[in-house]
A and B are shown apart, each in its own frame.
Chain A
Amino acid sequence: MASNPYFSLAVLFAAALGFGLTPLGLAWLWGKVFSPAKPNAIKNAIYECGLESKGDAWVQFRSAYYLYAIIFLIFDVEAVFLLPFAVAFTGLGVSACLAMLVFVLLLVEGLAWAWAKGVLTWA
């Protein structure tokens, strides 16, 4: 068995495992057997900032933030494409202008939808 080329590796692996697990085991033993545990409700509380935790941890966030994403797309991302379009406008063919028109109209449709939904109204 000692002639196996992996023998030294196995020994090192066992040593490494022991190096990691022995302190953990000792700490566990100390915690279970010797430590002077005085548990109570306050000590076992989850939150440890000195404040009492209130409510449930499983809070759901509103999914309505997609509206912000749509408006951002319309006003910000559109500008990114409009600027190079404006710079290269004189050298563009009909097909390029049509493609850009379709792109802008698609975004305008989004704006019209958001407007109709009342998203632009400051509540």
Chain B
Amino acid sequence: MAVDEGLKIELGKQGVFVTSLQELYNWGRRSSVWPMQFGLACCAIEMIATTMARYDMARFGAEIFRPSPRQADMMIISGTVTKKMAPQVVRLYNQMAEPKYVIAMGACAISGGPFKQGYNVLKGIDRYIPVDVHIPGCPPRPEALLQALITLQKKIDGQPLTGEGRPRFLDAEAQGEFPVPEQGEHDLEPPSNPAVWPVPLTINK
């Protein structure tokens, strides 16, 4: 039974705290997002700055960078993903425990950025793994990364635990494995994972 939002605020004024299991669960989930400790390129420097005293990522419960994917909840793709590195990134994402989130940080992680025309740079990590929050910038300032984290927390807060629109990890049917690409002759094989990234239609006139 859902409590009316207005009634909840009214009760709160009287010193009665009303919550639901879903809110409590999501509150716990969003307040302890532990990032994985790995940096790919120059964005990693901004990521490091974000964790330090001036920007203080610890305010959001996300300061504990874990060096092992088994203990991490969030993967910050901080920088250029080369095609040499992409299989490792996807494998690390696979090895993270559920629930897991991904922040694609910077122009390179989103789309390849200034190296988009390069033969050796992946044009966006969302071709292989589901990305929750994209932040543009080259590199994004620490404030932008904090904004991404806040956005992710809002997203977690809004997720229902049952029924339609529930997160992947609560769906027993949903797959947990994302195929790791391999180095092919000219490109990674496969060039993208159609389950997470539908190939856009190219129209040649």
Within 8 A of B (CB), among A6-45: 35-43, 45
Contacts of B70 in A (CB 8 A): 48
A120 → chain B, closest Cβ, in Å? 43
Q: Is B94 in contact with A36, judged by CB distance below 8 angstroms? A: no
B98: which of A37, A50, A51 is its contact (CB, 8 Å)? A37
Residue among B88, B97, B176 making CB contact with A40, cutoff 8 Å: B176
Q: How far is the CB of A36 from chain B (nearest CB, A)?
A: 4
Residues on the A chain within 8 Å of B176, using CB: 38-40, 43
Contacts of A40 in B (CB 8 A): 94, 176-177
- Whether A48 contacts B95 by the Cβ 8 Å rule is yes
- Those of B38-92 within 8 Å (CB) of chain A: 68-70, 87-89, 91-92
Question: Is there an interface contact between A36 and B170, defined as CB atoms closer than 8 Å?
Answer: yes
Give the interface SS of chain A, mostly helix, strand, loop or mixed: loop
- The reply to whether B94 and A43 contact each other, CB–CB distance below 8 Å, is yes
- For B, the interface residue count at a CB cutoff of 8 angstroms equals 20
Q: From the candidates B68, B98, B180, name the one contacting A42 in the complex (CB within 8 A).
A: B180
Alpha-carbon distance A95/B177, docked complex (angstroms): 78
- Residue B158 is within 8 A (CB to CB) of chain A in the complex: no
Q: B99 in the interface, Cβ–Cβ < 8 Å?
A: yes
Smallest CB gap from B169: residue in A: A36
Are B68 and A43 closer than 8 Å at their CB atoms?
no
How far apart are B71's CB and chain A's nearest CB, in angstroms? 10
Chain B residues 87-136 with CB under 8 Å of chain A are 87-89, 91-92, 94-95, 97-99
Chain A residues, Cβ within 8 Å of B91: 42, 50-52
A52 / chain B contacts, CB cutoff of 8 Å:
91
In the complex the two chains form, what is the Cα distance from A41 to B95 in whole Å? 9
The reply to whether A42 and B95 form a contact with Cβ atoms under 8 Å apart is: yes
4 shortest A-B CB distances, which residue pairs? A38-B176, A50-B88, A40-B177, A42-B94
Binding site for B on A (CB under 8 A): 35-43, 45, 48-52
| 15 pairs, A vs B, C-beta closer than 8 Å | A35-B98, A36-B98, A36-B169, A38-B174, A38-B177, A39-B176, A40-B94, A40-B177, A42-B91, A43-B94, A48-B92, A50-B87, A50-B88, A50-B95, A52-B91
